[in-house]
Amino acid sequence: LKPPSEEDLKVIENRQIGHKVSSIVGCGARCKHGFPQAFAFDPIERAPLILNGAVSGRKSRIESGLFRLSCPLLVKAVDEWEREGAVVAINGEVRASAA
């Protein structure tokens, strides 16, 4: 992992997450388009809660997970794959193998 650059933060905040983040630990490998493919973050270090552009005195909620995809093209491909029923199919395979 490498610390995120300003450009990485723009991609992650504007194109993937949709809000400012302050707890990114690092970014992983780059896709062929130059975007960080994924990033790791500290789910406990919380950013200020921003509502309609105004910073609230409260902190944002604790995030789940430690890693997120961040390449906009990879995110789009996974979203399409999920829409096609991939999660349901994989869950079915897991249930069948547990029996």
Does any domain span residue 93? no
Does any domain span residue 19? yes
Does any domain span residue 79? no
- C-alpha–C-alpha distance, residues 36 and 70, integer Å: 6
- C-alpha–C-alpha distance, residues 67 and 26, integer Å: 10
* C-alpha dihedral sign at 33, 38, 42, 46: positive
Does any domain span residue 82? no
Does any domain span residue 94? no
pTM: 0.59
Does any domain span residue 56? yes
**pLDDT exceeds cutoff 80 at 83:** yes
Does any domain span residue 76? no
pLDDT tens digits, one per residue of 38-71 = 888 877 665 566 666 776 665 555 566 788 887 8
Q: Report helix angle 72-83 to 86-98, nearest 10.
A: 60
Structural domain of residue 16, as residue ranges?
Answer: 6-71
Does any domain span residue 22? yes
Q: How many domains does the chain have?
A: 1
Task: Give yes or no for a contact between 57 and 72, defined as CB atoms under 8 angstroms apart.
Answer: no
